[in-house]
Amino acid sequence: MTHSPPFLDEPTDTREAIMKATYHALCKHGYSDLTIQRIGDEFEKSKSLLYHHYDSKDELLLDFLEFMLDRLEERVPAHREGGADDHIEEIVDRSFGIGASATDLEFSQALVELRAQAAHDEDYREYFTRSDQFVRKHIAHTIRSGLEQDLFRSVDPRETAALFQVVFIGTMTQRVTNDDDTIEDAHAAFERYVQECLLESED
């Protein structure tokens, strides 16, 4: 059974209840087979509320993505205690761990389907552009902190954050669209990059 993210466990209002139902329906059916009716099947209140607030599946999904981004921004601290080197290792491990569990995989599959809509839908493109910018901003902040702490080599935070972002998206896409066992090899190679090109030598 798919588990909700912690912030959706106990919805406090109608919108959060709709977002929880959307999350479960999206994980269960994916984008192409998702309908407002199927979201309504996961909704504990009257299904008429869904049609009252949303005119289409895509309108609901775009609101869901905005909701998720808002919660992400609330939960990622602007300043983090501890060394930036430990935090960058945590980012690497999480990036390559996306979709590794069965529950994670369902949501990752749905996100890849939603991202694919951005190829021809400006609303989805605008959302994913802002979402990616937020992730890069957070990683760049971590790298600047590491430079200030003398933990990282002299790298360009913006360029390095862009590399992390591309690796993150590529890893998620690879895991949900390909059966080849390449993730571990890529993880090992990227870890070498972090050790040899980013982290300051202890010698």
Q: Are 19 and 13 in contact (CB under 8 A)?
A: no
Tens digits of residue pLDDT in 144-173: 999 999 999 999 999 999 999 999 999 999
For the whole model, what pTM was predicted?
A: 0.88
Place of tokens 């309108």: 59
Tens digits of residue pLDDT in 80-136: 667 899 999 999 998 888 766 666 788 899 999 999 999 999 999 999 999 999 999
Tell me how many degrees the CA angle 95-69-78 measures, rounded to the nearest 5.
75
Domains and CATH numbers, the chain: 1-75 (1.10.10.60), 79-203 (1.10.357.10)
